[in-house]
Amino acid sequence: MKILFFIGIITIVVLFISCDDSTTERKKSTVEETDVAYLPEKDAEIQRNNLELQKKAATNRFPCDTLTLKEFILNNYPDGTYLVDFDKTVTYDIPKAAVIYLGEGYTLSVIAKSGTDERLIEMKNVVGYDQSFIDLDSTELGTPFFYLTLFECSQNSFKMVWETPIPSHGGFNNFSLENWKYNNTQYVKVNFHYAQGIGHIDYNYFLIDGLTQIPHLLMTYEGINFKRTITNCNNDEFPDYYEFVYYDTGDRVYVKDSVAFIWNVKEKVYINTRNSKQTRQY
């Protein structure tokens, strides 16, 4: 009797788990069918409706403005491509598009594209401090691919001059046009939060050959136990950098040393001045 009793209990448990799993799978399937992130055509329709509302509310339009750029991206880029917004400094700020107008018809922007064969990305998952954790598991929310892009305005439309990838998948904060103090070369600093290291990462795009040529990338960063800064080591046109070495004694973290990396024009890599076998692409 006891054996029969236990067999009955086990059978009920197995049936309960099977039913629960089946219900979960049905719910998951239903969510995926109705979630806009899995429906590119529905997402595009929503984007167009929002854009029309923004056009009606706009009071200061001009040729090749931000709304024109959003429409250009919607019409000419693959599904799931968006003009990125700056991270909000205050919770109730109105999001500001990541666009810099340079004059003479040129516009710099940061664009995010959805990965292929995945769900579409959402801006709420790629911009901001908490979203820098997406690198730990980006596929569940869709994988964003960021690009710094230069457009040229012509007859109230756009022509892409160049596009270069930004090697990060989440946590975008802002970007700005800067000058390198050594020789006043302009560069675009694209700033990302890095919550895992309690710090930030900057992707610095140096306009070595002028605005219309693809820029040179140098990554810098700073956090609780890591730091890399721009420097000039060999007086050429390319920036170099110092990589700082930290020691962690358990009760404190401090800088112990720094190592210079110099850009090698021929090999197109940064080379450690103390160990030539150690190289970095950017």
pLDDT in tens, 199-221: 999 999 999 999 999 999 999 99
3-class SS of residue 146: strand
> What letter represents residue 268's amino acid?
K
* pLDDT at residue 21 tops 60: no
The pLDDT-based confidence of 37 (bands split at 50, 70, 90) is confident
Q: How confident is the model at residue 138 (pLDDT cuts 50, 70, 90)?
A: low
Nearest to 169 by CA among 205, 141, 207: 141
Structural domain includes residue 154: yes
- Quote the Cα angle for 190-108-91, to 5°: 55
Cα–Cα distances in angstroms (integers) from residue 146 to residues 164, 192, 201, 270, in the given order:
9, 11, 14, 23
What is the enclosing helix (H) or strand (E) of 260?
A: strand 253-264
Cα gap 65→34, rounded to integer Å? 33
Q: Which two tokens stand for residue 206?
A: 């140096």
Would 271 be classed as within a structural domain?
Answer: no
Give the residue, 20 or 240, on which the prediction is more confident.
240
Q: Nearest 5°: phi and psi at 149?
A: -130, 140
Four-residue CA torsion sign, 120, 221, 232, 244 = negative
Q: What pLDDT band is residue 5 in, cutting at 50, 70 and 90?
A: very low
Closest CA to 88 of 135, 54, 148, 129: 129
Number of domains in the chain: 1
List Cα–Cα distances, 131 to 35, 121, 137, in angstroms: 20, 12, 11
Backbone angles phi, psi at 270, to 5 degrees: -90, 135
Query: Encoding tokens for residue 66?
Result: 């931000």
Task: Check pLDDT > 50 for residue 44.
Answer: yes
Type of residue found at 23: T
pLDDT band at 133 (very low <50, low <70, confident <90, very high): confident
* Residue spans of beta strands (DSSP E) within 22-121: 81-83, 99-103, 106-114
223-259 exposure pattern, b = at least 16 Cβ within 10 A, e = fewer: eeebbbebebeeeeebbbbbbeeeeeeeeeeeeeeee
Domain of residue 153, residue span: 63-197
Residue 167: inside a domain: yes
Beta bridge partners of 117: none
Q: In the block, which residue shows the tokens 């000039």? A: 232
What mean pLDDT comes out for the span 51-78?
95
Q: Which of 9-13, 132-136, 230-234 bottoms out in mean pLDDT, i.e. has the lowest?
A: 9-13
Give the pLDDT band of residue 273 (cuts 50, 70, 90): very high
- Give the pLDDT confidence of 61-73 residue by residue, as tens digits: 999 999 999 999 9
Residue 121: inside a domain: yes
